[in-house]
Amino acid sequence: MKEPQPAFDVGTPVASTPKQLRFLVIGAGSRGNAYSRAVTTATPGVIHAVAEPHEFKRREFGRNYIWGPDGVPGDGQEFADWREWAQWEVERRKNRPTHDDGDGTATSPVGVDGVFVCTLDETHVEILQAIAPLQLHILCEKPLALSLDDCLTIYRALQPPQGEASQPSPPSTIFSIGHVLRYSPHNTLLRRLLLEDRVIGDIVSLEHCEPVGWWHFAHSYVRGNWRRGTAAGDGSLLTKSCHDIDFILWLLCSPPSLEAARTHGHSPHFPRTISSAGSLTQFRRARKPAAAGSATNCLACPAEPDCGYSARRIYHSRHLARGHTAWPVDIVCPDIEDVFRGAGGPDAAEEHLLARLREDYDRAHDPDDTIASRPWYGRCVYEADNTVCDDQVVTLAWDDEPTAPHRLAKTASFHMIAPTEKQCERRGRVYGTAGEIAYDSRSISVYDFRSAQTSVIDVPRPPPEETESHGGGDYGLARQFVAAVDAVVNGALDIETAQALFVGCTLEEAVRSHAVVFAAEEARREEKVVRWSPWWEEKLNASAAGTA
């Protein structure tokens, strides 16, 4: 088991202590499983309970991480949803005896130290508001919420009331957000090279790209849960790339280290302006092949054999036919692995998958809220009800900050693009006064102006099972969160210090990072340039007035 490491270089890490840390996972989907694997295999914590309405997902999750393949759930370990758990937890805290240990002593079931919120994005605000009074440590999957108002509502729910002279009170619990790009070995090294070692001098400009992947975008953002946006700003920039925007701000806004912040009192170096352009370019009826005719489902389409976005090809030929039952096939059919391993074997699994893909809707007769309520993985990508951008560019610009060294005028651009060969393998280039850095998901190279030489930096490679999880970012985030909780629960550090040393990001910073995404979406929709400082002040004042 690996020791947790702090998010900054702070010397000797906090040692493990005797108390066993227990966590609840709300939502047993792909993200809940990803964090649970990381907690179970790479931290001193354990997954103690799960809340998930889908019975098969819940039981499979429990067998994998809690009670084992041959075990049964104990008291307080399995819940049909988060409300059931919250009610149970309130009752537990009343210290009602629930069972007899066998020696005549009545005891209460144990609770958890922290919660992983891994449900659909639109549920986060209700869940976090409800569990905030329980004062548990929280890691919430990104995005925090689907509107700026909801993000600020969460902030108010989790942030303690202001103290004397309207000064913000220190946090009362550890909070982390699923911005996993901050925590991969590759990106932590890149940040150190840029901000601490300053290998290219002062940063002048940054270009960053997320190639989503042609079939991945079709799966999640055309047919899947994230295919519709609203005027509140919850498009693909938020649901897919909010942690890319956070990554850019982490590199260009934040102080280079905790010590720099403490020594110089640096506040974040905020951008002056934000602009954006983008649209739904590809996945719409105007692009539909003529040979497809009036077909709305892949399995009934005459053009399916020649279509790159064939659901049969993506889910069966590329995955299930090769014995691959994990993502994305298990998103379409959560119980596909059990069917595959059952008496019917691959043939039964294929028919089970195809039956799901045949499901379709009729726009003329089915209510829109019914259509929007679930994914349709066999739907023609050109006949889908998706509304989110498949191509978007965001541009940020900074002014000099005269009172702080090396905080000079600069620009950054971000490109989210759907039809790509690479799948979520980010790449970029940073231009500086003394050189430039090029990076992708595997390597970093530095060109030095004075020597005219290029050096390739040796990036530490996590084990294969970690690399597959955002380049080790899922594991890094889980380690840091559990380490922060461990330090607080076992009395080694106060909450504010543990938050800074291990998580490296405050709740306020997470909300502000989301706000930049909403500003970019407003700029795109209204075809304008957002001036950050007055825009942010206006939003905060409006939110405060709305809660007065």
423 and 529 part of one domain: yes
Instruction: Tell whether 366 and 302 lie within a shared domain.
Output: yes
Give the pLDDT score at 131: 96
Tell me which residue of 446, 469, 468, 447 sits closest to 457, measured CA to CA: 446
Q: Please indicate, yes or no, whether residues 131 and 239 belong to a single structural domain of this protein.
A: no
Query: Does one domain contain both 47 and 93?
Result: yes
Within 8 A by CB and 6+ apart from 24, the residues are: 47, 48, 49, 50, 51, 85, 112, 114, 115, 116
For residue 82, being part of any structural domain is answered with: yes
Integer Cα distance of 440 and 186 in angstroms: 9
Q: Assess if residue 515 is contained within a domain.
A: yes
pLDDT given at position 303: 97
Burial class (CB in 10 A: 0-12, 13-18, 19+), 95: exposed
> What distance in Å separates the CA atoms of residue 520 and residue 50, rounded to the nearest whole number?
36
Structural domain including 365 reads: 285-372
Q: What is the pLDDT of residue 3?
A: 40
Does residue 393 belong to any structural domain of this protein? Answer: yes
> Is residue 158 domain-shared with residue 258, that is, in the same domain?
no
What is the Cα–Cα distance from 134 to 75, expressed in whole angstroms?
19
Residues 64 and 1 in one domain: yes
Which amino acid belongs to residue 352? Answer: H
Give me the number of domains the chain comprises.
3
3 state SS for 349-415 = HHHHHHHHHHCCCCCCCCCHHHHHCCCCCCECCCCCCCCCCCEEEEEEEECCCCCCCCCCCEEEEEE
521 assigned to some structural domain: yes
Between the CA of residue 316 and those of 225, 251, 445, 446, what are the distances in Å? Answer: 20, 40, 39, 42
Average of per-residue pLDDT values in the chain: 91
What's the predicted TM-score (pTM) here?
0.91
Query: Are 42 and 146 found together in one domain?
Result: yes
Give the tens place of pLDDT for each residue, 150-172: 999 999 999 876 655 456 677 89
501 and 512, same domain (yes or no): no
Does 53 share its domain with 166? yes
* Domain boundary pick from 317, 344, 372: 372
Q: What CA–CA distance (Å, rounded) separates 378 from 222?
A: 11
Contact 387, 284 (CB under 8 A): no
CATH number of the CATH domain containing 154? 3.40.50.720
Residue 41 contacts residue 482 (beta carbons within 8 Å):
no
Check which CATH number belongs to the domain holding 526 and give it.
3.30.360.10
Convert the pLDDT of each residue in 303-359 to its tens digit.
999 999 999 999 999 999 999 999 999 999 999 999 999 989 999 999 999 999 999
Residues 454 and 355 in one domain: no
- Is position 422 within any domain? yes
Q: Do residues 238 and 343 both lie within one domain?
A: no
Q: pLDDT per residue over 423-475, tens digit each?
A: 999 999 999 999 999 999 889 999 999 999 999 998 888 888 777 778 889 99
- Identify whether 233 is part of a domain: yes
User: 216 with 74, same domain?
Assistant: no
